[in-house]
Amino acid sequence: MDAVTIHFAPKTGTEEEWNEAYARLADYFRSYRLHNRIRRTQVILETLRRAAEAHEKDSAKSPTAHAIGQARLMLHDWLGDIYKGMELTDSQLEASGRLGFHLCDGPNRWPHFFIDRENLPVDMSEAMRSAVRTSGPRLQVSKMTPRPIDLGIIGDVAEDTFEGGRPALVRYLILLIVIAGVLTAIYWLTTYWVASL
């Protein structure tokens, strides 16, 4: 195991901002079930070192934003090496990487090789690729042609009544009867409810 020898002394940003960035990175890497504290600390310090360099160039963004951006970039590069040739989009790469790392039990079997591009074990890489290959078919977009809804006799009656099959006076009379029926039902229900109190 490599010793933790990362020098971290940012020239920009406050101590509170970098502590917040550290906490957010710890949460982010914990979401990958990276419970090995030594490896997590190594990865966090390397990410913070890169974020500090990026923050010197662009101090408009917060240290936390730079840190998460660097973490995602490091993860993307690492997963890109693992899933090379599988033609995954960026979002598929991150999702497949998270899935593959969990399915092959990477947090327990290979925690010291998480985001380590130089010492990537072949068996870990193959286990992660295999987990994603066997997890199911790729998402495919399907097309459906819209068809009119068949309402049967209800549709025919509605068409005849409200779309000009009968004179306007008859349509309004039917509408008036329906409204009167609803109002009568409401009256009787409220009267019954008040009487039962």
Instruction: Evaluate whether 56 touches 13 at the Cβ level (below 8 Å).
Output: no
pLDDT < 50 stretches in the chain: 1
Domain ranges (residues) in the chain: 2-130, 152-196
What's the whole-model pTM score? 0.59
Q: What CA–CA distance (Å, rounded) separates 196 from 146?
A: 51
Q: How many residues comprise the chain?
A: 197
pLDDT at 140: 62
pLDDT at 1: 47
CA dihedral for 13, 19, 25, 27, sign (positive or negative):
negative
Which element (helix H / strand E) includes 190?
helix 168-196
**Beta carbons within 8 Å of 190's beta carbon, 6+ residues apart:** none
pLDDT at 161: 56
